[in-house]
Every structure is written in C-alpha cells, then in structure tokens.
Amino acid sequence: MPYTKAISYSGMSLYAKCPVLWHERYILGVRGETNAASERGTLLHSKLEEYFLGNTEYPAADKCLAPWQPYMEALNGLDPSPEAEVAVDANWRPVAFDSDEAYFRGKKDLDIQLPDHIQIYDWKSGKVYPDHIYQGKAYFALSPHDCDHVVRFVYLDIPTHVQEWAYKAKDKEREREILTRKIEIIRADEVWDPTPGDECRWCKKSWRRGGDCKAAP
C-alpha cells in the first residue's frame, strides 16, 4: 500500500542511496546506528539553537564554534528564526509540521526574512558534499514566500567556509514539480530493491560487514 506520511529531504536522500535502508527506517521504524561524528554534529546544532533562541551566550568555548562567533553574532542581529519547521500538502500549500496532510517537510537551522529575499541557513559538520545543492533546492521549494531565496550551508569544521546558492522566485514551480516526481516514486514503491555498492561500508547489510548485500559489479 502506498506510503502516506510526510517525506523529508533526509528521507528522500536515504531512498536515493538505498531503498532497503529507507524501508527499514521509515516503514519498519529501525533507526540507523549512531557514531561519534553524528553525535558531535547533533551537539553543535544544539549549542547554536540555544544561542539563537536567546537561552545562552555564544558558545565561544567550543573550539569548533569559536572562529564563527563574529559571523553568528552578525546573523543574530538580523532577527532570525531558529529551527524553523515548515511543511506543505500535496498541492504545496503550507500546513502544520505534524499535520496528517503534510506531504513534504523540513527543518531549517535558521531563517531570516529580508525586504527583498529570504535567507536560509543550514549548519554542517564534517565533509562538504556535492548533493547539498539539492537540499538547498528543497528548502527553496518548501518556502511559502514568493520571492528570491539564498540558501547558505555553513561548514562548521572549516572556519569561515560558507557555500551559497541563490534561487529565483520564478523557478520555484519547476523545483516543486521535480520534487513531486521524486516523492511519488518513493510513496508508490512496494519492492525497495537494494542498491549495493562499495561506498556502503557503514551499512550492516554490506558484504564488508558480513551482510548479504553484495558489492556492485
């Protein structure tokens, strides 16, 4: 039977990597393994969230976040909205994040509304991955504002390294159509074939870890 719950960019990304893992996490409810890197990323996000919510001073004692203090303080002066949750229904109309009608949804680390455009920020720890541009498009498509957008990925482990993509309001409908096609493929899948490959070293199903999912030829 078709999947009817809301899909996020992270879920879409996992499905693209391997439908089997997506099925385990979102249909069977089996959570993936945590590691030191993921726990560290969660901690950094939490510290920044508390700062932008006004609950703490800037966490300058953190060696990773210290070089970013002037940058983050400048953002804080622009009246940002931290941990901005957004969701849309199948017609891309805004709905509550936890609504039964939610079709696609996401959470932005920071959202800033300026007179002529919207700025969206996402904190990243670890490596720079090329697929982040697609996450930027998802944030743009989810936004209810009919204006230009700038999405910035802030790579916390690389002092002052920010990657930026700009999106024009006129292109939003096209991006939504592309995402809709991807979402419908996920919702209709009832087979969830694996996509084995040599990059799946972390997966417990990988042949590298004694699993029965063989390496790609």
CA atoms of 217 and 135, how far apart (whole Å): 29
pLDDT for the residue 199: 61
The two three-digit tokens of residue 202, written as one number: 């972390």
Q: Would you give per-residue pLDDT tens digits along the chain (217 residues)?
A: 789 999 999 999 999 989 988 999 999 998 766 778 889 999 999 999 999 999 999 999 999 999 999 999 999 999 999 998 999 999 999 999 999 999 999 999 999 999 999 999 999 998 898 889 999 999 999 999 999 999 999 999 999 999 999 999 999 999 999 999 999 999 999 999 888 766 666 677 777 777 777 765 4
pLDDT for the residue 201: 65
| Tally of residues, the chain | 217
Which residues, other chains included, contact 30 with Cβ-Cβ below 8 Å and sequence gap of 6+?
24
- Inter-residue contact 77 to 114 (CB < 8 Å): no
- Inter-residue contact 181 to 88 (CB < 8 Å): no
Residue whose pair of structure tokens reads 């159509």 in the numeric block: 177
Question: Taking Cα atoms as reference points, which of 104, 146, 93 lies closest to residue 13?
Answer: 104
Strand partners, 86: 106
- Inter-residue contact 73 to 110 (CB < 8 Å): no
Find out if CATH 3.30.420.40 is the number for domain 7-209.
Answer: no
The two three-digit tokens of residue 78, written as one number: 């622009």
Strand partners, 153: 122, 163
- Inter-residue contact 176 to 90 (CB < 8 Å): no
pLDDT for the residue 66: 98
Q: What are phi and psi of 109, to 5 degrees?
A: -65, -35
pLDDT for the residue 198: 63
